[in-house]
Amino acid sequence: MIPLDDVSQSIRMTADRLLCLPSKEHGERKSRAGILIPATAAISRRLSWAEVVAVGPTVRNIESHDQVLFAPDTGFEIEIRGEEYLILRERDIQAVATRRDEGGTGLYL
């Protein structure tokens, strides 16, 4: 796996774009009963989480290392140095989760 800092230093996003590393649940996942559900079996209206690696200059509410909630049918998939990433627009983000450094809730809806 490529360190996130290495990718964010070599790629600069434009406008309101976000470079995100999708969580492992974005692909195949297991049901509560243990049944493997492939990524191609789309469940309508199910949102996914991703970690933000880089942000464009006009992004206002999201920073690197934030977790963002988005619809899987938005954005574009891209491969960088063998790793799968997503390019999303800020307006496609449904929620942002940040670390609790200063006593805030860390979740913005």
- Looking at the domain that runs over 4-28+35-108, which CATH code has it been given? 2.30.33.40
Say how far apart CA 38 and CA 50 lie, in whole Å: 18
pTM above 0.85, yes or no: no
Say how far apart CA 18 and CA 87 lie, in whole Å: 6
Look at the block and give the residue holding tokens 């070599």. 10
pLDDT digits (tens, 9 = 90+) for 19-48: 999 987 656 667 778 887 776 665 566 788
φ, ψ for residue 76, nearest 5 deg: -130, 140
Look at the block and give the residue holding tokens 């360190």. 3
Mean pLDDT by 10 residues, the chain (109 residues): 60 94 73 76 75 95 94 91 94 89 61
DSSP 3: -
Per-domain boundaries in the chain = 4-28+35-108
Say how far apart CA 107 and CA 95 lie, in whole Å: 7
